[in-house]
């Protein structure tokens, strides 16, 4: 028989959004529980070796890998904040507000007055012949292998996708001594920041726009790939197929928010392509249609770590104040955070995100 533990606020996911949310909740005095299924906090930050842009508040100039420790330094000293690592949130039951956690041997039930879901996003798959061959890896997997475990993913990588992740991981591969034989992008232009693409060009990596991978070659592991040119309707142009020798095909074709728990919680959901897929509809303070549920970070829409930290803080402040906990200068902080978010989203690539966020926000910004 399991006990029912009780907390004020449970935060699911200890990536940048979850860490920021927990800090805000902890500062308010709320009894807060932060859980993550990995054995240590950080989410995607643990593989991010590049320096952050943006303002000082969003750790500009700091490398992603250094950020979890900065949060943990403060969180570990808060007596009202509990941390559970190696704990997978397997379900949320909206009628009772109960979160179930398991690690393959123990099973814990937590009753939370508010739940902040910061579960991040997952790699989008790509359908092509033999896409399931060993050696076809998501970009996140390649980054994890290299930057967290210090193991080379292979010797010759074909990168698929020219968004920031595809560009950055390609550069990280080169730093680790791996050859990037080519980068293919199905669209007619590069998706990510041109400053990253320029680094790759200088390193001699061919960037082939209007190209995609159509087949993975190899008996039981990747030994090569067939790439082909595509037209504006994503159709392969016959006769343009070329073989490329590689031992890893790295898919960096986008992320999609991990929102299972929002569906379980009965939240109103909307399909927003600019944000990566289905996301919960929310108000300006990150509250979902279910008043006990808040969303933060990539699981509310795929952006980046800086935006995740801001939306996490907004969700934390809102959840805490909704329970009557005092957050000093809450309104001023929220205004400043929303302004920071607008600034991050103000570049040319941010236009689509802004439109997507607007689509995912309830009319008038309030429930």
Partner 1 sequence: MAVREKTADGSIVICRCEDITLSEIRDLIAQGYHTIDEIKRVSRAGMGPCQGRTCRQLIARELAAALGVPIEQVEMPTFRPPSRPVLLSTIARGEADE
Partner 2 sequence: MEIALYSHFAQGREDSGRPLGRLRPNVVRLKDHPILEFPTGREVEFTFNGKEIEGIEGEPIAAALHAAGVRILRHSPKLGRARGFFCAIGTCSSCLMTVDGVPNVRVCTEPLKQGMVVETQEGHGHLPID
Choose one: 131-139, 173-181, 245-253, 310-318; the region binding partner 1 (CB under 8 A).
Answer: 131-139
- What does residue 162 show for φ and ψ, rounded to 5 degrees? -115, 25
By a kind-dependent CB cut-off of 5 to 8 A, residue 107 interacts, out of partner 1, partner 2, none, with partner 1
Q: Measured between alpha carbons, how far is 253 from 262 in angstroms, rounded to an integer?
A: 24
361 forms part of the interface with partner 1 (CB under 8 A): no
Q: Measured between alpha carbons, how far is 107 from 114 in angstroms, rounded to an integer?
A: 20
| CB-based contact 50:100 (threshold 8 Å) | no
Angle at 317 between CA 316 and CA 321, to 5 degrees: 120
Q: Measured between alpha carbons, how far is 12 from 35 in angstroms, rounded to an integer?
A: 5
6 forms part of the interface with partner 2 (CB under 8 A): yes
- What part of residues 23-52 is at the interface with partner 1 (CB under 8 A)? none
Q: Please, which residues bridge with residue 108 across strands?
A: 101
111 forms part of the interface with partner 1 (CB under 8 A): no
Q: Measured between alpha carbons, how far is 68 from 308 in angstroms, rounded to an integer?
A: 13
132 forms part of the interface with partner 2 (CB under 8 A): yes
- What part of residues 248-287 is at the interface with partner 1 (CB under 8 A)? 256, 258, 260-261, 263-264, 269, 271, 273, 277-278
Q: Measured between alpha carbons, how far is 201 from 275 in angstroms, rounded to an integer?
A: 28
Q: C-beta of 269: minimal distance to partner 2 in Å?
A: 19
Tally the residues of the chain. 367
- What part of residues 35-74 is at the interface with partner 2 (CB under 8 A)? 37-40, 49, 63, 65
Query: Toward partner 1, which CB reaches closer, 104 or 204?
Result: 104
Query: Toward partner 2, which CB reaches closer, 146 or 295?
Result: 146
Q: Measured between alpha carbons, how far is 14 from 12 in angstroms, rounded to an integer?
A: 7
Neighbours of 124 (CB within 10 A): 16
Choose one: 17-25, 138-146, 274-282, 333-341; the region binding partner 2 (CB under 8 A).
Answer: 138-146
| CB-based contact 102:280 (threshold 8 Å) | no
Interface with partner 2 by CB under 8 A: which residues?
A: 6-7, 31, 33, 37-40, 49, 63, 65, 76, 79-87, 101, 103, 106, 122-123, 132-138, 140-141, 144-153, 175-177, 220-221, 258
Chain residues in the site for partner 1 (CB under 8 A):
1-3, 88-93, 100, 102, 104-108, 122, 124-125, 127-133, 215-220, 256, 258, 260-261, 263-264, 269, 271, 273, 277-278
């Amino acid at each position: 028989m399991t006990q029912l533990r009780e907390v004020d606020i449970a935060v699911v996911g200890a990536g940048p959004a979850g860490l920021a949310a927990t800090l805000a909740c902890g500062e308010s005095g709320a009894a807060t529980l932060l859980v993550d299924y990995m054995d240590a906090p950080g989410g995607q930050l643990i593989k991010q070796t590049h320096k952050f842009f943006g303002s000082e508040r969003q750790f500009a100039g700091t490398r992603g890998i250094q950020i979890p420790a900065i949060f943990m330094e403060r969180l570990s000293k808060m007596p009202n904040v509990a941390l559970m690592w190696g704990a997978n949130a397997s379900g949320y039951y909206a009628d009772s507000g109960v979160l179930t956690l398991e690690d393959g041997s123990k099973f814990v039930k937590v009753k939370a007055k508010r739940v902040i879901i910061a579960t991040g996003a997952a790699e989008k798959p790509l359908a092509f012949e033999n896409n399931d061959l060993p050696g076809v890896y998501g970009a996140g997997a390649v980054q994890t292998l290299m930057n967290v475990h210090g193991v080379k993913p292979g010797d010759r990588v074909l990168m698929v996708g020219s968004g920031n992740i595809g560009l950055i991981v390609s550069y990280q591969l080169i730093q680790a001594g791996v050859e990037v034989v080519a980068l293919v992008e199905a669209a007619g232009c590069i998706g990510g920041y041109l400053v990253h693409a320029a680094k790759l060009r200088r390193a001699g990596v061919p960037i082939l726009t209007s190209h995609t991978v159509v087949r993975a070659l190899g008996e039981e592991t990747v030994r090569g790939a067939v790439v082909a040119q595509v037209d504006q309707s994503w159709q392969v142009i016959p006769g343009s197929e070329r073989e490329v020798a590689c031992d890893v095909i790295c898919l960096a074709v986008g992320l999609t928010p991990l929102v299972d728990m929002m569906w379980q919680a009965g939240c109103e959901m909307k399909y927003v392509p600019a944000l990566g897929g289905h996301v919960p509809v929310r108000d300006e303070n990150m509250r979902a249609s279910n008043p006990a549920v808040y969303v933060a970070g990539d699981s509310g829409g795929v952006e980046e770590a800086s935006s995740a930290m801001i939306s996490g803080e907004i969700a934390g402040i809102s959840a805490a104040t909704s329970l009557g906990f005092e957050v000093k200068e809450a309104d001023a902080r929220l205004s400043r955070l929303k302004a920071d978010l607008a600034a991050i989203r103000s570049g040319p690539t941010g236009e689509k995100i802004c439109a997507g966020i607007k689509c995912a926000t309830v009319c008038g910004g309030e429930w």
